[in-house]
Structure 1
Amino acid sequence: MSNVSQKQIRKVAVLGAGVMGAQIAAHLANAGIETVLFDLPAKEGPANGIVLKAIDNLKKLKPAPLMSAMRAELIDAANYGSDLARLGDCDLVIEAIAERLDWKLDLYAKIAPHLAPHAILATNTSGLSIQKLADGVPGELKPRFCGIHFFNPPRYMYLVELIPTAGTETAELDALETFLVTRLGKGVVRAKDTPNFIANRIGVFSMLATIHHAEQFGIRFDVVDDLTGPRMGRPKSATFRTADVVGLDTFAHVVRTMTDNLPDDPWAAYYKSPAWLAALIEQGALGQKTRAGIYKKEGRDIFVLDPKAGQYVPSGQKGSDEVKAILKLEDPAAKVKALRESAHPEAQFLWACLRDVWHYVATLLDGIADSARDIDFAIRWGFGWKQGPFELWQAAGWKAVAEAVSADIAAGKTMASIPLPAWVVQRDGVHAPEGSYSAAQNKLIGRSTLPVYGRQLYPPQLVGDAEPNFGETVYENDSVRMWLPPAATDVPVLSFKTKAHCIGAGVLAGVQEAIRIAEARFQGLVLWHPDAPFSVGADLASMGPAFMTGDFDAIENMVAEFQRASMAIKYAKVPVVGAAQGYAFGGGCEFLMHCARVVAAVETYIGLVEVGVGLLPAGGGCKEFALRASREAKGGDILGVLKDYYLAMAMAKVGTSAEEGQQIGYLRESDIVLFNSNELLFVAQAQVRALAATGYRAPVKPKAFPVAGRTGAATIKGQLVNMLEGGFISKYDYHIGVQIAEVVTGGDVEAGTLVNEEWILKLERERFMGLLKKGKTQERIMYMLENNKPLRN
């Protein structure tokens, strides 16, 4: 039963219905895993009242832990009083109660007699020693006990740390990692059993170092956040906003774990919450969850704490132009050198923050992680850094940085006086094509060879890794490349080379040519890009010259070409499978709607959003919804089906998960939702093979189908009038809504009139061009191009 190829995790119990436990249960439910959520019996009302309340609360939280509210039905409520026998058919039990060693051990003793002999027991602790917990676990459970550390919120955070004990069986850990990677879509890092493990140990130290140096150099908190966010390749929440989002009490708790457990650490003096942080916590200002923390919002005004004055001051100050110019340098070596050599306090502050984190990770590497790879991925996936600390060091010039850090240690400028480990000066980096450096083993070690990673044809890359091999080119133009992945040369891939994979003339020509080649030489074609998004839609900027000169015929020809490309995808003689992640907007969504099948990563945000630029879907989106409504209508009630499809277009509704995209109708029920986006290409190619193996035939082109006609359009217009009078849409939104209504209902014809696809496509082109000539549409397009957000005029 311990064999990784045989062990299946089909049912999971989560112990503890607090914030973390409930959200772990939610993500298990998202993945379609039967889940039982336990907590104490309620003192009043139903015995499962605590859990039922937690499940209900999941539907209200933002960001949403559930992909759709109906997923909550997959979570069964249970309590420790009467339901422990239900643990008997669970393959995995995740304990997520409060961080108290004694409480956890008491619970293990209570549940042990009820666990299945094959079940894995994992504790979701963020800081307690896994070995200390294991020591109190009944003997027969020790081989199946380990630590599992989800990051909050579990649906969206990619990282999960797995922490074995001395007695954990490797096969159990392998089975759990396989489950986490492919079923829950996680990036797994195996950590050693040290306080706060890998990500929190380094991420929290980085925040403490930033706090220390902000005080040392006199840098305001809002300026710190301006400098330590995207400008440094880190999330928008940067440093102090991140603390607010996490919760100042939670941040202080993680710091306290380091205070309590690392008294002899060279940096121990810095493992403490500053006085101003303790004061905020005492006042109940815990950050975002209490609407006041380091930042506070009053009306539209945002204030930030001035720790010296002990009060809030208006926020919004930015870093100096001099330092921002340094941060814009593309060469990491030049950037780090310029920061180090600048006399500006903000530059010295940033250098000090980088330097002390590099000093820290180099010193800790042998004790907390198997290799530098694990540290870099843990920080990238757990804290949202674009590059991990070792990656950035290597990119900035390993030896030059090492010499500069050593010089600052010698000069007494660093937070700790311990010298860099000897291995640092003996090497010229930690990542190489053969693997990443393990300080404990003093050698490079390769990536995991678990079979599940064979599904990741192009796994996440680190600086210094071997360059990915994107195979042999079959066909290429300026906008697309058709190629054969070396791991699977039987199914070609078409990738767009345009910015944000937008769709212009080159993509449209390339799609049609790639389909012709696939029909002649291959069993199918996959539309996939190594990076998100799938596509932000039509390349509006490329219409600029024709737009400015009033050459509307050229634009109409391009719209017609777009429709031809969509129809080529749909009616190809071989299956065209779309593999999507990130945004799939407008024309990108329309391409997917025409694919034989779509394989979508769970966090694919999909929608026909043309209304935002004053237009309507004209790449076949209106046509597809009109056709689907006619086919799905029961008893001939086309309008009944069409209304929801219409509203999705008219309100530019975006599915905030692939599942919601299916519910809206952009994706079909037969389309596949994957939890790990790194598996998209593997599964998409498999779908092509499966469709081909069953004797794929292109869909039969309908000669005619019924439409809702002018009476259907009139009904929809009535709804639009109500929305206009209620102030929900503008007059111009109303005008666009009328155009969409008249297209999807088939134009000025009687209800039930039979039309073909070309009829609706012609209506799409005509109404699209009519809108394009309107001043308000032109304003919306220009505003979108300049500001990257819609104008509602």
Structure 2
Amino acid sequence: MPATLEIRKAAVLGAGVMGTQIAAQLTNAGIETLVFDLPAEGEDRRAIARSAIARLAKLSPRPLAEPTLADAITPADYDDDIEALAECDLVIEAIAERLELKRALFERIAPYLNERAMLASNTSGLSIAAMAATLPAGLRERFCGMHFFNPPRYMTLVELIPCLESDSALLDRLESFLVSTLGKGVVRAKDTPNFIGNRIGVFSMLSIAHHSQRLGLGFDEVDALTGPPLGRPRSATYRTLDVVGLDTIAHVIATMRDGLPDDPWHHHFFTPAWAERLIERGALGQKSGAGCYRKRAGQIEVLDPDTFEYGPARATVAPEVAALLALKDLGERLEALRVNPHPQAQLVWSSLRDLFHYCAARLGEIADHAFDLDLALRWGYGWKQGPFESWQAAGWKRVAGWIEEEIAQGKTMSDAPLPAWVTEVDGVYRAGSGYAPATGRFALRGQLPVYARQRAPERLLDDPLAPGETVFENAGLRAWHDGDGVLVASFTTKGHVISADVLAGVRESVAIAERDFDALVLWHPEAPFSYGADLKGAMAMLAGGERDAFSLLVAEFQRTSQTLKYSMVPVIAAIQGMTLGGGCELQMHSARTVAALESYVGLVEAGVGLLPAGGGLKEFALRASNAQGEGGDLFTALAPRFERVARALPAGSAREAQGAGLLRDADIVVMNPFELLHVARHQARALFEAGYRPPLPARTIRVAGRPAIANFDAQIINLLEGRSISEHDAEIAHRIAVVLCGGEVDANERVDEAWLLGLEREHFVQLAMSEKTQARIQHTLKTGKPLRN
């Protein structure tokens, strides 16, 4: 049996929002995909699926990595196209959460599936065994649950749920496909109602709702407590209910209520009365415009569940409770919250206590290992730590004692005792391994070969990474290796901003790599790749009137970019997340970039009143010259680059960055960011083994000159007169045009890189010295938002 799962073509059954978004992610990964739905009346029998695919462009956040990918998804209907299923290697069902509908669909399609095809259901919690019972015996071994979390492009989690007959080797191959090809984080779940993520996540919401009602706290007050202060998304609890949809949450709760009659917490598995009332009114949350919250006249209003009236959402965390939540030691924090009588403190402690209690009691039922539960909440709900991680970080035995004490006092949501294993261990994690209650042993994560590709996987309890052998280190960068001949340079500044130390460290890393290694990779274990240049340090120079020192720093940045470009060993930039400004320019000068799909790349300096001066505009001019040859239209080639830079627009994905010229066609896009370093090292070694040489110096770059500058200026004047931009925006845009076009020279004049770098430096420094640009920089540093002045 092959070690990998060859999936050339896939089909998604069901053209709803979830089904089409799963199809979009398959397409993002380069898999030919069909979307099936019922045949429509009229001439266009595929109209339902076709319309659903078209709606992908209207969804936010965007399901497609690049808008034109929608054209690669094929609409289909069950009557006319069902035979096309025979060509598909993976078929994913994503229709309504009704068991009888799913069974009927499986009976209809089963005869058309080929003998190797995998069949999966995207159910969020229905019985996999009950679905499998309707399938032919030979298909059951190729059937499982494959639950994506919404939105599938951005949420890491996929729960993989076998039925009794599922072939374990096929499941291993499917997991490898999900991890490497689709870029997902996979947990294996048992076939129980709502599996792991929704079972625990929805219980947590029910617990918070129970205690907020008991303590008389408003929805906005609870959300102020249960979002970032607990390491959870800003949507917290009640905003999350609105985002997901109150009707959807009610369905998940009903699945728990109907499927778990013997659960000791069963009496809490009911949709709150206020939510039922909202659902009856059609106030389902964000999708209907009202739910726990609504927006009126630009103001966010929150529902009072007692009066059923909306009022301004203004609640905040009480100062004394905020002080407790700010305590760094988690054990100290929980103890202080536990004994503090303030209702807000009691909400936080009580909801966490009951969450810990429930997770311990149900772990063996829903998962094989503790890490499956924690990763499901991290990847599916966006929590920074899973429940067991938080419990262990606070002191496992001490917290267990508090829970037992409060069970005895009748304070908990259930009087079920903690399972015996809780008191037999000091925690559920040891050196990267997780506890398995069924065996009483600790097991390592990631035993499949695909996980060997992850040099820095998701870490539980912030387990330290294997550091590698340090070769060089300064205040902004560490250069290290694993003994494979490839030097890795990792920035250590906050946000991986590019300081003078980073620039010096990059140049030193190139020198070391040229002397002692085969290649150099720029890589960080976590996003972002870089927010760009160190604005705080730059402002200190500007405020001190150190113009010469500031100009020298710009020159040092340009020298660093050129050092990367003309390195005698290949330099690979391995990027993920925000790759902005100077970070974008560094990767533009690498021999090759390996980018995670979720890389947001852009020359965004105009947003702070500057223009790119680390060689980015120079590279755009050079690439336009190379692409257009002797007689091509340079203005047409430069126009989309000019617009993106002048508007400070980053690309929405690595695929989009390629289309925008921010990445090259030869650059590599990987779906799983944990595989970046693995792929980058292989690219580096391949270039080295092929006898890598840096490019020859570019001395005859054909530039667009004055006529193109005039064309750009005409566009700028139109925008200015239409009040779409400010006068300072217009000045920045004009200077960008001057640099892109090679300065005030004749059309088709020949210049070299030094000329273009000089233009960058000149106009950058002049903008930096202006009061309006300095005001923009100060405002961004203070608020994190751009200033229009």
TM-score, with length taken from structure 1: 0.98
Aligned counterpart in structure 1 of residue 592 of structure 2, from 593, 597, 604:
597
Q: SS of 2:471's equivalent? A: strand
Aligned counterpart in structure 2 of residue 608 of structure 1, from 603, 606, 622:
603
Aligned to 1:209: 207
Shift in Å, 1:788: 1.0
Shift in Å, 1:545: 3.2
Q: SS of 1:605's equivalent? A: strand
Q: Percent identity?
A: 54
| 8 A Cα contact 2:4 2:177, kept in partner | no
1:522 aligns with 2:520: no
The AA in structure 2 aligned to 1:319 is V
Shift in Å, 1:351: 0.3
The AA in structure 2 aligned to 1:541 is K
Aligned to 1:686: 682
Deviations 1:98-156 (A, max 9, x none): 11222211111111111110111111111110011111111111111111100111111
Q: 1:71 to 1:675 in 2, by over 3 A?
A: same
1:555 aligns with 2:550: yes
Aligned to 1:454: 452
Aligned to 1:109: 107
Q: SS of 2:596's equivalent? A: strand
1:669 aligns with 2:665: yes
Aligned to 1:480: 477
Q: Distance in 1 between matches of 2:787 and 2:186?
A: 41
| 8 A Cα contact 1:367 1:440, kept in partner | no
1:571 aligns with 2:569: no
1:626 aligns with 2:621: yes
The AA in structure 2 aligned to 1:117 is E
Deviations 1:588-646 (A, max 9, x none): 00001111100111111111111111111000111111111111125331111011111
Q: Distance in 2 between matches of 1:53 and 1:694?
A: 48
Structure 1 unmatched ranges of 5 or more:
none
The AA in structure 1 aligned to 2:418 is L
Q: SS of 1:478's equivalent? A: coil
Q: SS of 1:146's equivalent? A: strand
Aligned to 2:60: 62
Q: 1:212-611 alignment to 2 at 5 Å?
A: 212-433=210-431, 435-463=433-461, 465=463, 467-485=464-482, 489-611=484-606
Aligned residues: 788
Shift in Å, 1:354: 0.3
Deviations 1:141-177 (A, max 9, x none): 1111111100111111100000001110001111111
Q: SS of 2:96's equivalent? A: coil
Q: 1:773-792 alignment to 2 at 5 Å?
A: 773-792=769-788
Q: Distance in 2 between matches of 1:541 and 1:617?
A: 17
Shift in Å, 1:6: 4.6
| 8 A Cα contact 1:4 1:171, kept in partner | no
Shift in Å, 1:434: 5.7
Deviations 1:714-766 (A, max 9, x none): 11100111111122211110011111111111112111111100001111111
Per mean C-alpha deviation after superposition, the further-off stretch among 541-550 and 19-28 is 541-550
Q: SS of 2:302's equivalent? A: strand
| 8 A Cα contact 1:284 1:290, kept in partner | yes
Aligned to 1:731: 727
The AA in structure 2 aligned to 1:559 is V
Q: SS of 1:604's equivalent? A: strand
Q: Distance in 1 between matches of 2:344 and 2:283?
A: 28
| 8 A Cα contact 1:537 1:585, kept in partner | yes
Q: Distance in 1 between matches of 2:439 and 2:187?
A: 18
Q: 1:648-659 alignment to 2 at 5 Å?
A: 648-659=644-655
Structure 2 unmatched ranges of 5 or more:
none
Q: SS of 1:492's equivalent? A: strand
Q: Distance in 1 between matches of 2:737 and 2:15?
A: 46
| 8 A Cα contact 1:503 1:538, kept in partner | yes
| 8 A Cα contact 2:776 2:787, kept in partner | yes
Aligned counterpart in structure 1 of residue 700 of structure 2, from 700, 704, 707:
704
Shift in Å, 1:45: 3.3
Aligned CA-pair RMSD? 1.0
The AA in structure 2 aligned to 1:773 is M
Q: Distance in 1 between matches of 2:176 and 2:330?
A: 36
Q: 1:148-159 alignment to 2 at 5 Å?
A: 148-159=146-157
Shift in Å, 1:4: 4.7
Shift in Å, 1:97: 1.2
Q: Distance in 2 between matches of 1:743 and 1:458?
A: 40
Deviations 1:703-724 (A, max 9, x none): 2211111111111100111111
Aligned to 2:749: 753
TM-score, with length taken from structure 2: 0.99
Shift in Å, 1:72: 1.0
Q: SS of 2:58's equivalent? A: coil
Q: Distance in 2 between matches of 1:286 and 1:263?
A: 27
1:645 aligns with 2:641: yes
Q: Distance in 1 between matches of 2:297 and 2:485?
A: 59
Shift in Å, 1:43: 2.2
Q: SS of 1:59's equivalent? A: helix
Q: Distance in 2 between matches of 1:390 and 1:493?
A: 33
| 8 A Cα contact 2:477 2:491, kept in partner | yes
Aligned to 1:94: 92
